[in-house]
Structure 1
């Protein structure tokens, strides 16, 4: 069986219990991967990798990125695909069968199982069946979400090579920076608690992510011009995808099916 890990801070004891119980309910053995703590990051990393994106990363954002990078190293070391989860992911009961069906896929770096409630650029046609009721859509450019994905060694190699000199919020790095050969499951087989809470499901205090950080706007100033230049380049790179909506690309959401998710634990 494919190894499945969830990233979890030592202090997030209730979230760990939630994930472990959820895994038992759907028959998916989950291993805990300790998350990097923001207060343990060396100042040199904050001044280096932490300044390499479109704005300065917060310590929590860099810690989340480094936590995911630790998982990527394990994928590369073990030379086999792995399921990586964040500890606020709500999982479909179909996920264990889906990762088993996906294990031997070829020509793929990354498989995104998550519904982040954002539209994404996907290719019209070319969807391939994964298992009854689930297909894999070809991703041209995804937008957000790093809470539930399957990563292959080829993808880990690309991510790790780039991470030597650049960092970003984990989802931006996965979807925009490394140019992975990506697929998206349809329907989505996972969603973060806060996404489902916005749709009316009650998760109480659990709904706030324990490893993802709130993002802040960067004030416009002369010293920040290089960050805004990077942001402008990102927007320019998106232009061909928007033009592609006139032809081979579609810009749409891929939704999670709440009825397939296990009931929340107390």
Structure 2
């Protein structure tokens, strides 16, 4: 158990007052300090930044996607300047009552990134290297896909992300989890689930699941550079081959473990948040 809990922050648009109240209410209920960071909006992305960053990925990146990426980068800068790292939430994360134990445990600085959330998708785990920590298990991840709604980032991991941001860009999930960029672990059972994911499982998350509207993506003509983007996507797909082959040896493709009943209680007035049920086993 650490003397000082890991600092925790949530990213929130100024106009999203209901979501701010939702996150602050969860923090009070669970008994940990949670600081708000203002989320950047599309209007905060100037023309020069947009022109530079929008064409650095496998397709054009929208202003909103750049704003989300730079919002997370604000917290990477804080993590890079500290000694223990920090925990980042987006403002639609529904939190497990076990989260407080994780925040009070020793900072897992041997990892660049620890994904706290369950998104329902399969990912490539390593068969060995799991570590027990304060009632959870940190399982090594070979390739991550999603997980910006709830994660820990170490100082070293934050520095890697900031160094990459100087020359690269992508939507936040894709940027963080590009092949081999970070040493990643997954908390099992997961400690957070996004509101819309819970709603899709038939569970009331206790907050509206409507998200901000993304700008429509336009199909590019060949003259506008679509050959370049298609080439980048092709290279990205080639990189997946080694993970698929890894299933013959050290890797397994499965969903993370989660106890959805922990999150079922959140939307029910007067529910006992300490109740437990059997852990939902991951799908192979």
SS for the counterpart of 2:226 is helix
Q: Offset of 1:177 from its aligned partner?
A: 5.5
**Once the two structures are superposed, what CA deviation does each residue of 1:6-45 show, in whole Å capped at 9, x if it has no partner?**
0000000000000000111111211100001111211111
Structure 1 unaligned regions, length at least 5 = none
Q: 2:56 is matched with which residue?
A: 52
Question: Residues of 1 paired with 2:133 and 2:215: CA distance?
Answer: 34
- What is the SS of the residue equivalent to 1:180? coil
* Partner residue, 1:17: 21
Change (3 A) 1:178 1:42: farther
Residue 208 (structure 1) aligned to one of 204, 207, 210: 210
**Structure 1 residues 71-110: aligned runs within 5 Å:** 71-103=75-107, 105-110=108-113
Is contact 1:54-1:230 (8 Å) kept?
yes
Summarize deviations over 1:165-220 as a string: whole Å, max 9, x none: 1111111111116611111111111111111110001347721334x947847556
Aligned with 2:187 (options 178, 182, 185):
185
Larger radius of gyration: 2
* Superposed CA RMSD: 2.0
Secondary structure of 2:40 counterpart: coil
Query: What is the total number of aligned residue pairs between the two structures?
Result: 263
Q: 2:233 aligns with which of 217, 231, 234?
A: 231
The Cα offsets for residues 126-154 of structure 1, whole Å up to 9 and x where unpaired, read as 2111122x101001001112100001100
Corresponding position: 1:6 with 2:10: yes
Matches within 5 A, 1:77-156: 77-103=81-107, 105-132=108-135, 134-156=136-158
Change in Cα spacing, 1:98 to 1:51, as seen in structure 2 (3 Å) is same
For residues 231 and 248 of structure 1, the distance between their equivalents in structure 2, rounded to whole angstroms, comes to: 26
Q: Could you say if the C-alpha distance between residues 230 and 102 of structure 1 is closer, same or farther in structure 2, counting changes exceeding 3 Å?
A: farther
Q: Deviations over 1:54-77 (max 9, x none)?
A: 111111111000000001011112
SS class of match (2:170): coil
From the superposition, tell whether residues 148 and 12 of structure 1 become closer, same or farther in structure 2 (CA, over 3 Å). Answer: same
Matched, 1:37 2:61: no
TM-score, reference length from structure 2:
0.87
Deviation, 1:106, is 4.1
Q: Per the alignment, in what secondary structure is the counterpart of residue 177 of structure 2? A: helix
| Higher helix content, 1 or 2 | 1
Instruction: Tell me the SS of whatever aligns to 1:172.
Output: helix
